[in-house]
Amino acid sequence: MCDCLVALPALSSSGKTLFAKNSDRPRHENQIIRWNPSRRDREDIHATYIPVAPHAQHTLACVLSLPEWCWGAEHGVNEAGVAIGNETIYTIDDPRTAPDALIGMDLVRLGLERAATAYEAVQVLSELMTTYGQGGSGHDTRGDAPRRPYWSSFLIADPTDAWVVETSGRVVESMQVTTTWAISNRTTIPTFDATYRHPKQPVHLLVDPRLNASRSVLAQSPVNVGDLQTHLSSHVGGDNGWTVCMHAESNGEVVEQTTASMIAELDTNESLVWWAQGSPCVTPYQQARFSELSQRLDAVAR
């Protein structure tokens, strides 16, 4: 479960694109924030489950928030000012039948490493899914943990542009954002939703209250960072902890919660990033400019 929002410059109080995401994961999973420097791959790289051919150029440096067991990332920002976040979605196609391939988190990282604009990231993700397919558990399967495969949607933004990408296996549909947009754990592109929405997914109970809360925040333009921090820290949107800052319960026990949050003010020259590695209702956001992040994150890692 996750929630992701974007406001383009005309609807932002700073006049710059604002991107925000809460990453909701299993309660005991550790999610880390990592500086990912530029590199030149000469051989295949190994994503979470499969090898991927190297990029023809140097990759872009980026900041990644990722579960410690996973090669891919839940969300991040690169040096060109591109931000990407992904969401679990379910469709009429069953992800349990797909062989291991790329998972949504792999695609987030690959898009950030290989794309200098939001539109380039749309192309990168589409080409990778066409070439390699999508499949595999998005949760740690070490030990006796069960596989939990799913399809992904993505919100992709840069300093002037934003796109939504929704998928079902190798099927990919994209839509350009004109002002603001929010995604959650359901299909939101109207044409894609009409064709691929899973008929039995209880989106009206577990998803739509959070999605509607995000849309309400974006409707109160101009949107500012304080609005987004308050929203991502809020317990609105559903019963039994299925809220924007998530503490979802099953049989009286928290099973899913927000384990990381990020807000970015995107700028080609110098993006500004706020992040919390934990539930933002109790974890203060840290702030740094992109050029400072390598030193800050290296210090955190030590």
Tens digits of per-residue pLDDT, 194-246?
Answer: 999 988 888 888 899 999 999 999 999 899 999 999 999 999 987 888 899 99
What is the rounded distance in angstroms from the CA atom of residue 286 to the CA atom of residue 105? 23
What pLDDT is stored for residue 240 in this prediction? 83
Residue whose structure tokens are 């790289």:
45
Residue whose structure tokens are 């550790």:
30
| 3-class secondary structure, 23 | strand
Active site residue 2: yes
What pLDDT is stored for residue 298 in this prediction? 58
What region, left, alpha or beta, does residue 278 occupy, with left being phi > 0 and alpha being psi -120 to 50 degrees?
Answer: left
8 Å CB contact between 60 and 50: no
Q: Which CATH class is domain 2-301?
A: alpha beta
CA angle 12, 17, 22 (to 5 degrees): 95
8 Å CB contact between 77 and 273: yes
| 3-class secondary structure, 17 | strand
Can you give the pTM of this predicted structure?
0.95
Active-site position among 2, 4, 62, 70: 2
Domain boundaries, the chain: 2-301
Chain center to CA of 133: 19
Which candidate, 90, 170, 162, 101, places its Cα nearest to that of 129?
Answer: 170
What does the pLDDT average to over 129-134? Answer: 96
